[in-house]
Amino acid sequence: MSADPIPNIRNFSIVAHIDHGKSTLADRLIQSTGGLSEREMTEQVLDSMDIEKERGITIKAQTVRLTYPAKDGKTYILNLMDTPGHVDFAYEVSRSLAACEGSLLVVDASQGVEAQTLANVYHALDANHEIVPVLNKIDLPAAEPDRVKEQIEEVIGLDASNAVMISAKTGIGIPDVLEAIVTRLPPPKGDINAPLKALLVDSWYDAYLGVVVLVRIFDGTLKKDQRVRMVGTDAVYQVDRIGTFTPKMVSADVLGPGEVGFLTASIKEVADTRVGDTITDERRGTTDPLPGFKPAQPVVFCGLFPVDAAQFDDLRNAMGKLRLNDASFSYEMESSAALGFGFRCGFLGLLHLEIIQERLSREFDLDLIATAPSVVYTIKMRDGSEVSLHNPADLPDVMQIEEIHEPWIRATILTPDEYLGGILKLCQDRRGTQIDLNYVGKRAMVVYDLPLNEVVFDFYDRLKSISKGYASFDYAITDMRAGDLVKMQILVNEEPVDALSMLVHRGRAESRGRAMCEKLKELIPNHLFKIPIQAAIGGKVIARETISALRKDVTAKCYGGDVSRKRKLLDKQKEGKKRMRQFGKVEIPQEAFIAALKMED
């Protein structure tokens, strides 16, 4: 069997903002080309995780090979990549795009261009894609296709005059999409006689097959039992089986140039298959490997601790298993005086953090506490060295520090006009500097530079509540800048609580400290002695609250008589309380930690 002629192959991905209908369109394309029978079709076929189905978001990029008999009498092979739309999973998008030549840009005909529509289109343009605009949800009463076409031309600069009009839900216009893919997207290029050159697009762990590797062949052919070498890690494997997804796994004998498929080769660990690596033949290797991708850099760190210390081993095993399928998630062990043993974990953003936490509690039945999320700071020391700081509790001695650099982001926010004032105030309060403000149709597009530290906390929630859910938000990390940052510690009964220490900007330390103390005062139950709660920077206390003591009325049995008898009893009680305070331990309930960490400004 020879490899398919390249003119009949089309590799494309679907890019869009969250909820504009990517996965539904993918379902319709699979259905109309007969990829699955009616009985096998489920809603959002490609969203295989429960969380994906429930939240209605795509987390992992998926791929499908479809066969389509076109109007010109030829049969085409379409390789579809369904990509996530959320900013935290942008790395999934970029690597799927590298395996394709074209993209369908799906825009909701009622909502128009959103922040992540822009971000994902720019990803596709960076990958030199041919882009076909598709207007979805044209059956809705609120749809305004003409206005949205203008918007696409105005904001993105794409010609939208021949955009395909569809409703992915009802199936209107799906044949037009298939024809547009075949006629308007370019076929892949490749040389079947050159040495094998394949891009490792993704890899995941399967309990029966070991690691399954998704590849896109650029040159040469990939056969069963061939010995292949990973250029990046220099490891050699023998291919056990190859094939394609329709979305079911279907075995094949050969994959040729332009094709997208999978291989298994008894690989034990996903960590051995670096995404973006080039795969080539062991003997007749390619001399120029593919450019690959930048590895996904975690930007948000937080500690995860089991509520029950006995679950520590279960947590370690669970993290190992998650790491098998998500190479962008990193973790290392740490211990805390307040919370015991746990892990310091790195994530790509807050949604990524939330999803990993949810998967740990759901798939592995673990009860977890997360410490306040923090970002990676670069610390320039007086002796010229540089240190990366992931946990504020590990800040070196202040006298040794020259300056602290924090990551900044460029944020793009699209919002209806009436919420603009509140959003500008929110960005100003978070130490943002405004870069640009202009109008896209009836909506304002604001561009701000913000410190990531301020965004990580609860920026997204605040943005959604100010704009009643209408604002959309996208960001990219730009650079590291020096900031006037100080470490704020929380002391309970004069003991520092390491899980609550954080790096804050000096100008905001006092308000943040006061809010934290007030919050803890409500959350920590009364003891038999007074408990001071203080926020301190170094040796200087900047905020304080006191929890009053529970009192037993010791003078109840005195009636009448001399006042000195009452005084004597009260003094005796006071002595006891003083002693108790020295030896007494303050019990901080777990809920208090969790609530204090979720603190609103």
Annotation-wise, does 23 bind a ligand? yes
Q: Are 246 and 35 in contact (CB under 8 A)?
A: yes
Nearest to 401 by CA among 384, 421, 424: 384
Give the helix/strand (H/E) hosting 486. strand 485-492
* Dist. CA 442–CA 309, nearest whole Å: 54
* Dist. CA 204–CA 334, nearest whole Å: 27
CA angle 275, 277, 283 (to 5 degrees): 145
Annotation-wise, does 21 bind a ligand? yes
Q: SS3 for 84?
A: coil
Q: Please, what's the b/e burial string for 152-165 (b: 16 or more CB within 10 A of its CB; e: otherwise)?
A: beebbebebeebbb
Residue 287 burial (10 A CB sphere; 0-12, 13-18, 19+):
exposed
Dihedral sign, Cα of residue 356, residue 358, residue 360, residue 364: negative
| Count of all residues that appear for the chain in the document | 601
Distances (CA, A) of 406 to 44, 124, 167, 376, 383: 39, 29, 45, 7, 20
Q: Which structure tokens are listed for 50?
A: 């429960």
Full 3-state SS string of 252-269: ECEECCCCEEEEECCCCC
Annotation-wise, does 22 bind a ligand? yes
Give the helix/strand (H/E) hosting 480. strand 472-483
**Which stretches does DSSP call E strand in 506-555?**
531-537, 540-547
Annotation-wise, does 138 bind a ligand? yes
Give helix then strand counts, H and E, for the chain: 13, 32
Annotation-wise, does 108 bind a ligand? no
Annotation-wise, does 352 bind a ligand? no
* Dist. CA 262–CA 206, nearest whole Å: 12
Q: Which residues have a Cβ under 8 Å from the Cβ of 581 and sit 6 or more positions away?
A: 493, 529, 530
CA distance from start to end of the chain: 65
Annotation-wise, does 432 bind a ligand? no
Annotation-wise, does 24 bind a ligand? yes
Cis peptide upstream of residue 247 (ω within 30 degrees of 0):
yes
Binding site feature residues for GTP: 19-24, 136-139
Binding site feature residues: 19-24, 136-139
